[in-house]
Amino acid sequence: MKCLIILSMVALAVTAETYPADHDDLDIENVVSNDDLLLSYNTCFTDKAPCSEIPAFFKPRARSVLKAQKHIMRRYVEGLKQKYPEEFGAFVKKFDPANKYTAALAAAIANA
C-alpha cells in the first residue's frame, strides 16, 4: 500500500512539473517559413502586440519541457535569429535581460 501511494505521488509530481502538451502539434515549420506569422509570434512574445493564446512552454517557468516542445522552441529560435536578428535580440531582452539563461536554453534545445 505504501509503495502504491509513493508511486502515485511521484507520478503526480512528474506530471505537475511538465508543460501541457496542448500545442505539441504546432506546425513550427509553417511558422518559421511564414515571415508574417513568425513576426506576429515575436511581437506577441515581446509585448509589442496583443497575443492570441500563447503555448505555455514559451512562458518563463521552471518546468520540464518535453522533446516535441524543445523541437518547436529550437526551430522558432533558429528561424527568428536567422531571419530577424534584431527581433531575436528583443525576444532575448524580454525573457533574459541579464543574459543568464540564453546559453543554457541553446544547449537544452540544441539536439531537439
Distances (CA, A) of 63 to 21, 32, 92: 13, 25, 19
Taking the C-alpha atoms of 49, 95, 65 and 57 in order, what is their torsion angle to the nearest 10 degrees?
A: -20
Q: In which band, very low, low, confident or very high, does the pLDDT at 62 lie, cut at 50, 70 and 90?
A: very low
For residues 42 and 91, the answer to whether their CB atoms sit within 8 Å is: yes
Q: Return mean pLDDT, the chain.
A: 75
More confident residue, 22 or 79: 79
Most confident of 15-19, 21-25, 108-112: 108-112
Query: What's the predicted TM-score (pTM) here?
Result: 0.64
